[in-house]
Amino acid sequence: MNALSKEVAEVTRKTGAPATTLPALEAWVAEVAALTQPDAIHWCDGSDEENEALIAKMLTDGTLLKLNERTHPDSYLHRSHPDDVARVEHLTFVCSRNRDDAGPNNPWMAPDEAHAKMDALFDGCMRGRTMYVIPYCMGPIDSPLARCGVEITDSPYVVANMRIMTRMGAAALARIEREGTFVKGLHSTGELDPNRRFIMHFPEELTIKSYGSGYGGNALLGKKCHALRIASWQAREEGWLAEHMLIVGIENPKGETRYIAAAFPSACGKTNLAMLIPPEGYRRDGWKVWTVGDDICWMRPGADGRLYAINPEAGFFGVAPGTSSKSNPNALATIRRNTIFTNVALTADGQPWWEGLDDRVPAFDWRGNAYDSKRGPAAHPNARFTVSARQCPSWTPAAEAAQGVPISAIVFGGRRASLVPLVFQARDWRHGVLVGAAMGSETTAAATGQVGVMRRDPMAMKPFCGYNFADYFAHWLSFDRPGLKLPPIFHVNWFRKGADGRFLWPGFGENMRVLEWILDRAEGRAGAVETPIGHLPRADDLNLDGLDLDGAALQTLLTFDRDGWRAEFDSLGAYLDEFGARMPQALKDEQRRIRELLG
């Protein structure tokens, strides 16, 4: 018996029977088991019985705490290690064979070096633990746009979260066995030592290795690791787009639903827009908003030339602080039951709490200590909730459509206190790609100690693009070809401020007014003024009925500042030059064209 046969025999001994008909999968699981040396191996089937057993185990060992059953039935709190509360971008590598393929936008490590480093960490790391094998599908299980993976982990918390965030279990395994291909993800919490923590992506091998963290973005490998970093590489090779975008449907009074895909950096109201509740006047007239997804969008040209999109996720892994009945009532309603909370505070009667929720004072902070306001926030600023998307009041069954939903408009946005108007439309696809490449947000004193520093975050993909941004822009530009009916591209800015430092636009549900103009522009029904930076609405082009907005504020929101935009495009030109010879000439030409129009 050769070494591999012995490994397969050991897997069979620990599981009781061959768990898959796919030799490549069984061999890989055996290889990982030989390296990590778990006490037991469990192949996850995604069943209710399996989940209940895992929850019971975590309640017993303290991994989870049960919340108030009356107010939050079947919901739990997880407290992570205080040094393991967020993504670690500086320890997240793209390990392409060619360093230039990773680009200056990604930390890079040579694949051989990365495998050696990770395998040394994984050596024997699961002794005394169970190794869980999680087959999962990103996207509707029968969708041709969906892609599958298998995550191996020693964390039951990861299993419980992956069950919510993906289509996990027997149906996913059946598809993997039919197709014969899958993304390999190996994860261990290790010792939770920040000095022994790495997340490695091997795009040419469709492989992810993550060690030393239990935090969602580092440990739920179907999420950012697969759905963006690996999928963006796959998408370029296969002719589609894997994007950090929400997908929202807008139903008009005629019963017609049109879908928007929108990309925003963090702290720009992405989830709020995905679950938007229209103003009272809109609701009275019959407008509705439908949530397809709040974070990730995979788009592919359909047979009719339009872009069709799916949300590859099945759940929300949302930021809790700031979520309230005012900011996002749909999200608040979604997480009333069947939710896993991570690093939130607790009230005396066992309810989850975070800053911005209400005026109550919690009893315990996110570390489990008695709450003392002098020690900082009660909930960690990156505290999360994991919940099925189906529980959202605005969720739509169209999210399960195998063919996806047709995209009528693409929207980019950022947090800009000055210069950038409330909304404008790109002249054409090439201009729209430049708009996406240029997007970013201004920092605040609370975050960085400096106010008004603009950081570029192209297409909101800076932490997530799995390859060179210059090649990524070229891939976007490649869709501008005969036969495709591409959606128009827009840019929005909800965060313009007046001289007094206050936001000029009310935001939240009132953003519906901007979305209506966007969709009407997409169908040629709304007016606009042409400027060098794009088409801007006039006040009369927006539905402002019932909105209490000062005329001077509206004028500022819709103003085109030529001098300011000259400086903006000079900065943009320098940014594009940072990527060297790989930067598409077409994008540089577009930047220069607009700069010349600005004078």
Specify binding-site residues. Answer: 87, 215-217, 224, 244, 266-272, 295, 382-384, 415, 508-511
Q: Residue 139: exposed, middle, or buried by beta-carbon count in 10 A (0-12, 13-18, 19+)?
A: buried
Beta bridge partners of 356: none
Residues 6+ apart with CB under 8 A from 255: none
From the list 44, 95, 225, 268, the catalytic residue is 268
Tell me whether residue 268 is one of the annotated catalytic residues.
Answer: yes
Question: Phi/psi at 316 (nearest 5 deg)?
Answer: -115, 135
The binding site for GTP comprises 267-272, 384, 415, 508-511
Q: Which residue has the tokens 């799995």?
A: 466
How many alpha carbons fall within 13 Å on the CB side of residue 75? 25
CA 572, distance to chain mean position in Å, is 25
Structural contact between residues 459 and 412, judged by C-beta atoms closer than 8 angstroms: yes
Quick check: helix, strand or coil at residue 147? strand
The binding site for substrate comprises 87, 215-217, 266, 382-384
Distances (CA, A) of 160 to 76, 169, 337, 473: 11, 12, 15, 36
Question: Phi/psi at 456 (nearest 5 deg)?
Answer: -70, 135
Quick check: helix, strand or coil at residue 169? coil
The binding site for Mn(2+) comprises 224, 244, 295
Q: What is the DSSP string of 415-481?
A: --SSSS-SEEE-SSHHHHHHHHHH-EEE--HHHHS-SS-EEE-GGG-TTT-SS-HHHHHHHHHTT-S
How many alpha carbons fall within 13 Å on the CB side of residue 7? 19
Residues marked active site are found at 268
